[in-house]
Chain A
């Protein structure tokens, strides 16, 4: 899927369109512009998909979660308030759906299709692989706050609003998650 029209302006670490360009793209998409939607998709899919994967640790489920989130976004595009940034809205949907999936599957473990098996076994060697394995051992709620804080770079206050949690809960989950990750990685080492 290529991008058409306009440019993606880099805004440092989030690789997202600038606020001004994003508003323009959303407005054009609301008016039916496919190139505008394509640009929004191209700009936001990789992070949304990665965030979903880091929470669910299952390739097929991550794809479903990210796809569902974008479909929800398309469905609600007309009602979207252009004054608000697009990414937090999308990420909120992604992470909450990923959490729902992870909670369900952690207990159910009976999805059925062989291809739905978690593919964490494919984690690479080295510190990245150790991190992925350690991350997979955290409860989904802790994975979600780690992803929101350290991949998507939201503040604890923003995370609290996205997950509808008290800020103190977000902070304590982050602290426990990082402590546990450190312990697990050190134990591996």
Chain B
């Protein structure tokens, strides 16, 4: 194939839904242009309503920052942060603030980062997850699931067929759930007893009971939230409609509730459990109050379960990101951190003292004190640290911060 052929093929390759996309895009772009034009004309007299609302929202966000109990510390953070990242970021990760070990997924594969910042590439795996005490890592590579020592030595592998994704190690340590094509499967942590749980599930990672019970929450392909008992086969214990557009599930520490996160809402459902799990019940949904017009990029329960950290994105043209701590009991959210630019994900330290925020545009990780006091530590040059020998690299993803206290006996 010569270059001319390649050029023609690229030009002529069908783009799905191109006409409809062009029409929709045109409507959005022209509407934005009209809004801008109105704003410009009205500027002499008053700002347009959307701009005024945006300005008020930003002002409110920053006022909340400055007036909140964490205000004194946060004022400094606002000063320190600008669109290109935090000034004077540390050039390399030489220790993990708050301790613990990180699992980081780069283009080359998953890395284990030790508390002193030293790191080891585990191999060419697509995704990885910690075992509950961090003694092992489960990793997928195309159609293979493997359990690895944290130095990368494989303990076992299995290939049940299909493209594997979203491995999740149970809090008990005895089981690993993963998606295989459109199905959900569970295997024993020693690689034996592999079997299906459901044949048609949505492409969302399943979530194990936080207490180590053999209960797995997942979303079926049709949009049903389901809790299944995984011992002795798959026994559906409870079901309810999932949050539309749900992208992640997480059990509250203690299993009292299940968090559903989508782009536009965070929803909690209380979970009723009895000793035999036979009367597992999913309660009615309750939406956590968050600032309107925000897009939810990531969310996670704090290790003590007292708050849910939500990473929010405001605006499209000149985006701003914020982290709020939502109250699972419905109280008002508290803004912890805000910055111009687009953060991408968050992770709690195992002791709940800090949040790690990923900032790909700035090539930085930010370690933000969860109580709002103290200094934000910024580490720069993150992409290059997980791509040695390469001049450019994609920004890596957080795959876990090990380890929260786990049930006795877990590996």
Are the CB atoms of A110 and B21 closer together than 8 Å? Answer: no
Are the CB atoms of A49 and B1 closer together than 8 Å? Answer: no
CA distance A131 to B126 in the complex (A): 23
Residue B87 lies at the interface, judged by CB distance under 8 Å to chain A:
no
**Which residues between 1 and 31 of chain B lie within 8 Å of chain A, taking CB atoms?**
1, 3, 5-7, 9-18, 21-30
Are the CB atoms of A110 and B392 closer together than 8 Å? Answer: no
What is the size category of the interface that chain A forms with chain B?
35 or more
CA distance A38 to B26 in the complex (A): 8
| Residues of B contacting A: mostly | mixed
Residue A53 lies at the interface, judged by CB distance under 8 Å to chain B:
yes
Chain A 30-70 per-residue mask, 1 if CB under 8 angstroms from chain B, else 0: 00101001100110011001100110000100110011101
Are the CB atoms of A111 and B247 closer together than 8 Å? Answer: yes
Residue B245 lies at the interface, judged by CB distance under 8 Å to chain A:
yes
Are the CB atoms of A71 and B221 closer together than 8 Å? Answer: no
Given contacts A104-B397, A127-B1, contact A1 B14 (CB under 8 A): no
Residue A5 lies at the interface, judged by CB distance under 8 Å to chain B:
no
With a cutoff of 8 Å between Cβ atoms, the chain B residues found around residue A114 in the complex are 202-203, 221
With a cutoff of 8 Å between Cβ atoms, the chain B residues found around residue A123 in the complex are 13
CA distance A54 to B13 in the complex (A): 9
> B32-40, B91-99, B271-279, B321-329: which one contacts chain A?
B32-40
With a cutoff of 8 Å between Cβ atoms, the chain B residues found around residue A42 in the complex are 26
Are the CB atoms of A67 and B17 closer together than 8 Å? Answer: no
Residue B61 lies at the interface, judged by CB distance under 8 Å to chain A:
no
Residue B408 lies at the interface, judged by CB distance under 8 Å to chain A:
no
Are the CB atoms of B105 and A107 closer together than 8 Å? Answer: yes
Given contacts A75-B36, A111-B203, contact A104 B344 (CB under 8 A): yes
With a cutoff of 8 Å between Cβ atoms, the chain B residues found around residue A181 in the complex are 1, 6
**Chain A residue, CB-CB nearest to B15:** A53
Indicate which residue in A37, A112, A119, A146 contacts B247 across the interface (CB closer than 8 Å). Answer: A112
Residue B166 lies at the interface, judged by CB distance under 8 Å to chain A:
yes
With a cutoff of 8 Å between Cβ atoms, the chain A residues found around residue B15 in the complex are 49-50, 53, 59, 62
CA distance A49 to B24 in the complex (A): 12
A45 to chain B, nearest CB (A): 5
Residue B230 lies at the interface, judged by CB distance under 8 Å to chain A:
no
Residue B246 lies at the interface, judged by CB distance under 8 Å to chain A:
yes
Are the CB atoms of A49 and B25 closer together than 8 Å? Answer: yes
Given contacts A114-B203, A139-B107, contact A54 B10 (CB under 8 A): yes
With a cutoff of 8 Å between Cβ atoms, the chain B residues found around residue A141 in the complex are 392, 394
**Which residues between 287 and 337 of chain B lie within 8 Å of chain A, taking CB atoms?**
316-318
Are the CB atoms of B36 and A122 closer together than 8 Å? Answer: no
| Residues of A contacting B: mostly | helix
With a cutoff of 8 Å between Cβ atoms, the chain A residues found around residue B22 in the complex are 1, 45-46, 49
A187 to chain B, nearest CB (A): 13
With a cutoff of 8 Å between Cβ atoms, the chain B residues found around residue A110 in the complex are 165-166, 203-205, 247-248
Given contacts A63-B24, A75-B36, A110-B204, contact A150 B10 (CB under 8 A): yes
Are the CB atoms of A122 and B16 closer together than 8 Å? Answer: yes
CA distance A124 to B301 in the complex (A): 44
A37 to chain B, nearest CB (A): 5
Residue A166 lies at the interface, judged by CB distance under 8 Å to chain B:
yes
Indicate which residue in A106, A150, A165 contacts B7 across the interface (CB closer than 8 Å). Answer: A150
Residue B341 lies at the interface, judged by CB distance under 8 Å to chain A:
no
Given contacts A66-B25, A104-B397, A112-B203, contact A169 B318 (CB under 8 A): no
**Chain A residue, CB-CB nearest to B22:** A45
Residue A84 lies at the interface, judged by CB distance under 8 Å to chain B:
no
**Which residues between 15 and 36 of chain A lie within 8 Å of chain B, taking CB atoms?**
29, 32, 34
**Which residues between 61 and 112 of chain A lie within 8 Å of chain B, taking CB atoms?**
62-63, 66-68, 70-72, 74-77, 100, 103-104, 106-112
With a cutoff of 8 Å between Cβ atoms, the chain B residues found around residue A103 in the complex are 107, 394-395
Chain B CB within 10 Å, residue with most, of A67, A124, A153: A67
With a cutoff of 8 Å between Cβ atoms, the chain B residues found around residue A104 in the complex are 344, 360, 397
Residue A12 lies at the interface, judged by CB distance under 8 Å to chain B:
no
6 A-B pairs besides A59-B17, A71-B32 with CB distance below 8 A are: A37-B29, A104-B360, A107-B127, A114-B221, A141-B392, A181-B6
A-B pairs with beta carbons under 8 Å apart, 27 shown:
A37-B29, A38-B30, A41-B25, A49-B15, A49-B21, A50-B18, A54-B10, A59-B15, A59-B17, A62-B21, A63-B24, A67-B28, A70-B29, A71-B317, A74-B317, A77-B36, A103-B107, A104-B344, A110-B165, A110-B203, A110-B204, A112-B263, A113-B247, A122-B16, A132-B13, A140-B394, A141-B394
